[in-house]
Amino acid sequence: MRGSALRHQQLGVFHTFISVVASVGVAVASSVGLMLFWVSSAAADNDAAFTIGNYPVEAQAENAVAAKKKALKEGRDAAFRSLLKRLVPVTAYSRIARIKQTDATAFVDGVSVRSERNSATEYIASMDFSFRAEEVRNLLRRQGVPFIEEQAPTSVIVPIVREGANASTRTDPQWIKTWQSLDLKNALSPLRIEPLKPVVHVDTIRMALGADSNAERILATEYQSERVMLLLADVDKKAKKINVTVVGRDGVGPIHWTRSYRLVDGDVSYTLELVAVVTLGVLEGRWKALKVEARGGVAALSSPTRDVSLQVTFSGLHEWNIIRRKLLETPGVEDVTINAVSARSANVVLSYPGGGGSLAAVLLAQGLNLMQSGNVWLLAMRY
């Protein structure tokens, strides 16, 4: 089945395309009472990325029971490999080799069936595989494999088709269904699929393709989101290809990306499914590249997590709240314990990949100065 094969490759085979985009420079674009408390990193509160949803499984065997058992096992292992490729930056995919053969059984948190059908010797289904987030994190950390689990803000994508440069653009209902069948909710770059609205005229599309900022404002208003992308597929049957342009804004920032796809056996629907799979991978690759840069690069993410003791100094409550918020919102910071808070200082213990040296470089970009003094790191606002 073509569709099933593509879905299995959603974050795998097409990482070559993703790496091209991910390698492009990406710009890094409540008060709590003063008391002892512990908090995990913000990302740990959101484990959505550890679920591989709507995953296709199929197998054949001597009977229906054996076919289902085989499909479940193979599907679970394949979904686990897809999870690893979702979380790990493209530039570190080679490091997955050391763990991709790991038995996924111990990491599965739950399996649910969305749809299924079977015959006397075959089983076909679509399933959700949820994996134990903390166990997966620990596996990656033990093996020194960097990973990103924080999801981007949800973006809107509007897939439209045009057959010929002078033809009108339209929404292809089948392509919309293809997009909706992908695991968009749990992706690192979650998407909301919308049809082309009648109020979005051809002039607006032309303006968007020409990088006119007025088009971005119009689309933001019509789709009620600051992050809207048009995905235009120009079908050229004579040249046997589809030219694709993604333009607008996603969770990383402005995007204007183009690629051509060969029409596979002249099958437009199949090629459009390929376009959807690759495009989702590209958007996730952009987000991972942004987060890797913000956290000091792959080397910093690969370093083992180490405890760091901080002596924080500040001028008053307002400044302390700013420092505390920046610490808690820094990706990679975990297991934060705050105690011994006075009017001008606080003792903080946390863990961070690579320890204090790696953390200092990241905090510097946030206006915080972290310097080592013996076994203690001194943290203050940078003036």
pLDDT at 293: 83
DSSP notation for 223-287: HT-S-EEEEEEEEETTTTEEEEEEEEE-SSSEEEEEEEEE-GGG-HHHHHHHHHHHHHHHHHHHH
Reduced to 3 states (helix: H, G, I; strand: E, B; else coil), residue 38 is: strand
pLDDT value of position 292? 87
Residue 127 clears pLDDT 90, i.e. is over it: yes
Q: Is the pLDDT of residue 14 over 80?
A: no
Helix (H) or strand (E) segment spanning residue 82: helix 64-87
**Mean pLDDT value across residues 70-80:** 95
User: Residue 111: is its pLDDT beyond 80?
Assistant: yes
Of 48-62, 192-206, 319-333, least confident by mean pLDDT is 319-333
| Residue entry with tokens 């390698």 | 23
Domain ranges of the chain: 155-294, 303-381
For the residues 221-240, what does the mean pLDDT come to? 95
**Alpha-carbon distance 9 to 30, whole Å?**
43
Give the single-character DSSP code of 172. -
Average pLDDT, the chain: 84
Looking at the DSSP bridge assignments, the partners of residue 228 are 156
| pLDDT over 90, % of the chain | 61
The answer to whether 246 and 230 are in contact (CB under 8 A) is yes
- How far the first Cα of the chain sits from its last, in Å, is 61
Tens of pLDDT, residues 306-320: 889 999 999 999 999
Fold (topology level) of 303-381: Alpha-Beta Plaits (3.30.70)
Residue 152's alpha-carbon distances to 43, 246, 283, 288, 362, in angstroms, are: 11, 17, 10, 9, 20
Q: E strands of 95-184, at which residues?
A: 108-118, 122-131, 155-162
- Give the residue with greater pLDDT, 380 vs 10: 380
pTM of the model: 0.71
The answer, yes or no, to whether residue 152 has pLDDT greater than 60, is yes
Which residue shows structure tokens 């040296």? 357
Mean pLDDT of 14-42: 34
- Cβ-Cβ contacts under 8 Å for 367 (sequence gap 6 or more): 326, 381, 382
Crossing angle of the two packed helices 268-294 and 15-22, in degrees rounded to 10: 40
- For the cut 90, the answer to whether the pLDDT of residue 102 exceeds it is no
pLDDT in tens, 321-361: 999 999 988 877 888 999 889 999 999 999 887 788 888 88
Examine the pLDDT at 95 and tell me if it is beyond 60.
Answer: yes
**How many other C-beta atoms lie within 10 A of the C-beta of residue 99?**
17
Q: Assign domain 155-294 to its CATH architecture.
A: 3-Layer(aba) Sandwich (3.40)
Q: Calculate the alpha carbon distances from 33 to 30, 36, 314, 320, 338 in Å.
A: 9, 9, 16, 11, 11
H-type helices in 158-238, by residue range?
173-181, 202-209, 213-223
The pLDDT score that the predictor gives to residue 294 is 81
pLDDT of the residue at 302:
66
* Dihedral sign of CA atoms 231, 227, 182, 15 in order: positive
Give CA–CA dist 318/99, Å, rounded.
Answer: 46
CA distance 300 to 358: 6
In this predicted model, which residue has the larger pLDDT, 35 or 295?
Answer: 295
Tokens describing residue 220: 């933001």
pLDDT digits (tens, 9 = 90+) for 358-377: 888 889 888 999 999 877 89
The answer to whether the CB of 256 falls within 8 A of the CB of 247 is yes
